[in-house]
């Protein structure tokens, strides 16, 4: 990803990584645009307060780990030197922060996988036992439930997808990326590439993987 500056990059990073119901973790006090980036995408902000010893700030590793365990926390924004305190974090501090976040992320992942294994049951629609609404996925909506699966989207403006090998690739009038046969290009970790699936925007074909089980990720130009 390229960006004309750090502030646009922050906004694009949050929008790219986080879905509407997910969260961003930051250490406070913090550079104001960390919060502005989350607010811009209507993403909930989770704060871990730094420990202040007469103006000398240190990280609360236990608090960072506890808050990073929330499976909704998908992004931790961090800077070195720290803004606004000016602290230059020592290598040992950075390693401890990294270990705390990785440990929390692993526990959250295991928790999600366990929950998925207990609730995942194939439905007649070929998806999973999730709410099935009648709505249509849109850029503003971000997440939609259809035909027993969860729909999200990823944009070619962020991920060009040059290696997907989509024949007749083009942008349809609804902003979806489609192949020569008119199938919407989607990603799924539950179906082999080439599988035709039904989405709220029409018939899709699996060209990519890498999304969560039970999710159909629709490729768009949004």
100 in the same domain as 148: no
Q: Provide the token pair at 122.
A: 């194939």
What would the mean pLDDT of 32-47 be, rounded to a whole number?
93
Domain boundary among 118, 135, 160: 118
pLDDT at res. 122:
42
- 194 lies in some domain: yes
What would the mean pLDDT of 110-120 be, rounded to a whole number?
65
In the predicted model, what is the mean pLDDT of the chain?
A: 87
**Rounded distance, CA 70 to CA 68, Å?**
5
pLDDT(118) > 60? no
**Rounded distance, CA 64 to CA 129, Å?**
33
Phi, psi of 178 (to 5 degrees): -125, 160
Q: Provide the token pair at 10.
A: 């922050």
pTM: 0.52
What would the mean pLDDT of 166-177 be, rounded to a whole number?
95
- 38 lies in some domain: yes
What would the mean pLDDT of 187-210 be, rounded to a whole number?
91
- 41 lies in some domain: yes
pLDDT at res. 160:
85
CATH number of the CATH domain containing 46: 3.40.640.10
Range(s) of the domain holding residue 19: 6-118
- 1 lies in some domain: no
pLDDT(186) > 60? yes
pLDDT(147) > 90? no
10 in the same domain as 105: yes
80 in the same domain as 28: yes
Model pLDDT for residues 199-218, shown as the tens digit of each residue: 999 999 999 987 778 889 99
C-beta separation of 84 from 74 below 8 A: no
Count of the separate structural domains present in the chain: 2
- 169 lies in some domain: yes
Chain centroid, CA 220 distance in Å: 16
pLDDT at res. 94:
95
List of long-range contacts for 145-148, beta carbons under 8 Å, 24+ apart = 146/198, 146/199, 146/200, 147/123, 147/198, 147/199, 147/200, 148/123, 148/124
159 in the same domain as 81: no
112 in the same domain as 17: yes
**3-state secondary structure (DSSP) of residue 107:** helix
What would the mean pLDDT of 31-39 be, rounded to a whole number?
93
C-beta separation of 174 from 180 below 8 A: no
Nearest to 27 by CA among 89, 102, 109, 106: 89
Q: Which is higher by pLDDT, 134 or 182?
A: 182
Proportion of the chain in helix, strand, coil states, percent, rounded to 5 = 25, 25, 45
pLDDT at res. 117:
63
**Rounded distance, CA 140 to CA 151, Å?**
13
| Ramachandran area for residue 202 (φ above 0: left; ψ -120 to 50: alpha; else beta) | left
Percent of all residues in the chain with a pLDDT value above 70, rounded to a whole number: 90
- 102 lies in some domain: yes
Q: Which of 96-105, 171-180, 209-218 has the highest average model confidence (pLDDT)?
A: 171-180
- 126 lies in some domain: no
CATH number of the CATH domain containing 186: 2.40.40
Residue 125 binned pLDDT confidence (cut-offs 50, 70, 90) = very low
Model pLDDT for residues 46-85, shown as the tens digit of each residue: 999 999 999 999 999 999 999 999 989 999 999 999 999 9
pLDDT(144) > 90? no
86 in the same domain as 40: yes
Nearest to 82 by CA among 58, 62, 112: 58
**3-state secondary structure (DSSP) of residue 53:** strand
Domain boundary among 118, 135, 163: 118
Angle between helices 61-68 and 91-119 (to 10 degrees): 20
23 in the same domain as 113: yes
Residue 134 binned pLDDT confidence (cut-offs 50, 70, 90) = low
């Amino acid at each position: 990803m390229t960006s004309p500056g750090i502030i646009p990059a922050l906004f694009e990073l949050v929008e790219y990584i986080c879905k509407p119901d997910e969260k961003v973790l930051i250490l406070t006090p913090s550079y104001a645009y960390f919060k502005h980036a989350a607010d811009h995408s209507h993403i909930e902000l989770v704060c871990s307060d730094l420990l202040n010893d007469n103006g000398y700030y240190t990280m609360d590793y236990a608090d960072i780990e506890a808050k990073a365990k929330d499976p909704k926390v998908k992004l931790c924004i961090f800077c070195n030197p720290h803004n606004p305190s000016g602290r230059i974090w020592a290598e040992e501090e950075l390693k401890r922060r990294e270990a705390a976040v990785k440990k929390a992320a692993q526990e959250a992942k295991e928790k999600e996988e366990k929950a998925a294994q207990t609730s995942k049951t194939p439905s007649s629609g070929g998806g999973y036992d999730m709410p099935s609404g009648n709505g249509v996925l849109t850029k503003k909506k971000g997440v939609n439930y259809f035909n027993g699966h969860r729909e999200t989207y990823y944009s070619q403006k962020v991920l060009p997808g040059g290696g997907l090998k989509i024949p007749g690739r083009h942008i349809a009038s609804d902003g979806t990326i489609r192949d020569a046969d008119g199938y919407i290009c989607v990603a799924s970790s539950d179906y082999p590439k080439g599988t035709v699936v039904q989405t709220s925007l029409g018939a899709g074909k699996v060209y990519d993987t890498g999304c969560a089980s039970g999710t159909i990720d629709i490729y768009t130009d949004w």
